[in-house]
Structure 1
């Protein structure tokens, strides 16, 4: 790496000066040049300490340059610069952020090699990372290792353990048992403990037990937080106890606990699933008036509910609000709008949204392929039935070009509509492509083609013979 500086150093370089320059420099590579040049260009004896090393390591970790960050850890060891616990944990948390929890464990295990003895904070951090990333088997082994290492039980560590146990229905009873035994370890359950258990019970559909635990909070003098209320409101909505959810929502506001975006979205989801999307829209307006910005979950919930009720105009309003907020609709959002448009016979609008998807760069992938196939087939059939045959045929050609499979119903509708228009060559082409795709034309399709030829005087007799021959073949298949 080059050592040429982008500025003039003072005669006496200090860690504070180097730190300020690294923080001020937005470009990471230039920040590295500053870091290196502090020791490379001047022979004033300046050496990096844990503060400048730590700052540079955190910059590298934030840019996911983990190899370089760990190289600086090695350099600290070589230069006999003490590596603090917080520096190690910044690397561990960085790996957790990109869902590499086992690398977090690996870095943790290196701490003592660098003469850095991990404290309770490090053990609990790694334990929390493993649980958060669903590495539960490793997490439980690590918890046993913690206890053998003499790390005492605390509210924080027991809360993490309870969270891990709440992730599976088979271990929910164990989570409740640990909760009941917490006072024996000198630990008093807090709102996080209750919230974790209530959330776990709600996910299992055990709403009665969740409500009982919620009431228990009040008797123990533990005030429920917005997270606790939200967990129970979501659980009540998912179990179709919508009125209770609304009552709880009003209760939390009366107690001065402000709902957050997730609270509003959970209740909106309940309204939408209960066929009450109008109330969900009112709740959206209330949410915005409280200066809570809707997120993708909020908009997806509303779109689904409105489209299920056939409220296309309101659904389009939500789609526009998403775009104005800078959120990009995905294939699922467009799929709901297109399906709703087809359900209310707005096939031209549905076709326009298909074009908008393409222009917006929303291409099918492994997950959304079947959705793209389904909505394209629906639009082709809808446009045929509504008399827009030219556009339907163009979309059909586009589907073949893009490799989308054509439903038998789409082939059937296209052939019959085209035959009625008298374009028999085009109909024959589609039947031919149908056979190439492995679909066998049924009696209705062959009959439509034959009837198309029927009125043509010169082919009347051959058509009659073809029809008789086809009828004979169908009869042989059925009775032979």
Structure 2
């Protein structure tokens, strides 16, 4: 092209750099950017965005941040796409505080997401909220959730599920129930995933009767069909309450009446409950049934059996049957 006397311009470089980035050749794209700067051809935000996004996808966040700083030095204002890429990269590396700060900078610069980018923002916020919940920074997660709502990015069921899970894990069941009510008020369908979180939270808070009421109301009142996880959670809750006979009845009902096949977790939950309650015979029957279904004892069950063998509560023949 240049051999024929046609000089490359910003459009030419844009096309080439974008093509290199799409092919994952970020180093060639970066070299072209240096070349155009050397030639005095003004670069724009589109070129930088293509490279930053490519670097983030290649897990080269340090280089992406350096490029971000360079575009600011050159007086090129980052846009929503720039910030989205960098926040995504920070989240991938679990640098959640920095990602949150970057979101604040993004908003302060007037780069609020448009309707088209709301979906991307929801995904980013979901990652942030989950990270803060896992780190025990529940207040930060709640503040971010409220900021998300105020900015107009409507939370989805995944967002609610992450926040509700964090609240329940941290003993804030009442607040979780208030949020569930808000979902109902806004005509949002929580789905079985959210109900599983709430039922699990109720059981952990020793409100097993409340969990049972919610469990029983799912299909007839809320139009939501319980899945194997729902049954397993409820069975575990009944076992913790000491209502082992009710747990057995629900286990039988899920398969024979409701057509929900127990999974490995269901069997192991009930087996441990029977072992803890000195129901060795029932445990043996459950283990045999579990093995016929192709399942095996999990780590928690194995540890419990080993402990019971060591203190003489089980004999060695039990171990051979389990293995």
CA RMSD of aligned residues (A): 2.7
Shift of 1:363: 5.6
Q: Can you list the C-alpha shifts for 1:309-357, whole angstroms capped at 9, x where unaligned? A: 3222222222111222122246332530332330451462233222112
Out of 139, 142, 149, the position equivalent to 1:351 is 142
The whole-number CA distance in structure 1 between the counterparts of 2:42 and 2:164 is: 48
TM-score normalised by length of structure 2:
0.68
Q: Which SS does the other structure have where 1:293 is aligned?
A: coil
Counterpart mapping for 1:3-14 below 5 A: none
The whole-number CA distance in structure 2 between the counterparts of 1:339 and 1:479 is: 32
Counterpart mapping for 1:101-140 below 5 A: none
Consecutive unaligned residues of structure 1, counting only runs of 5 or more, are 1-216, 365-370, 455-459
Cα 1:321/1:470, change in 2 over 3 Å: closer
Q: Does 1:259 align with 2:47?
A: no
Shift of 1:233: 0.7
Report if the CA contact (8 A) 1:319-1:329 is conserved.
Answer: no
Report if the CA contact (8 A) 1:334-1:353 is conserved.
Answer: no
Shift of 1:389: 2.8
TM-score normalised by length of structure 1:
0.47
Out of 226, 229, 232, the position equivalent to 2:16 is 232
Looking at CA atoms only, which structure, 1 or 2, has the larger radius of gyration?
1
Cα 1:222/1:407, change in 2 over 3 Å: same
Counterpart mapping for 1:80-95 below 5 A: none
The whole-number CA distance in structure 2 between the counterparts of 1:467 and 1:300 is: 47
Q: Give the equivalent residue in structure 1 for 2:175.
A: 391
The whole-number CA distance in structure 2 between the counterparts of 1:374 and 1:253 is: 44
Out of 183, 186, 193, the position equivalent to 1:402 is 186
Cα 1:314/1:475, change in 2 over 3 Å: closer
Cα 1:327/1:424, change in 2 over 3 Å: same
Out of 80, 83, 86, the position equivalent to 1:299 is 83
Consecutive unaligned residues of structure 2, counting only runs of 5 or more, are 262-323
Q: Give the equivalent residue in structure 2 for 1:339.
A: 127
Counterpart mapping for 1:195-214 below 5 A: none
Cα 1:258/1:433, change in 2 over 3 Å: farther
Shift of 1:287: 0.9
Q: Give the equivalent residue in structure 1 for 2:249.
A: 469
The whole-number CA distance in structure 2 between the counterparts of 1:479 and 1:220 is: 72
Q: Does 1:377 align with 2:161?
A: yes
Structure possessing the higher relative contact order (Cα contacts under 8 Å, 6 or more residues apart): 2
Q: Give the equivalent residue in structure 1 for 2:33.
A: 249
Report if the CA contact (8 A) 1:277-1:305 is conserved.
Answer: yes
Shift of 1:299: 1.8
Aligned length: 249
The whole-number CA distance in structure 1 between the counterparts of 2:97 and 2:237 is: 40
Report if the CA contact (8 A) 1:337-1:350 is conserved.
Answer: no
Cα 1:441/1:271, change in 2 over 3 Å: closer
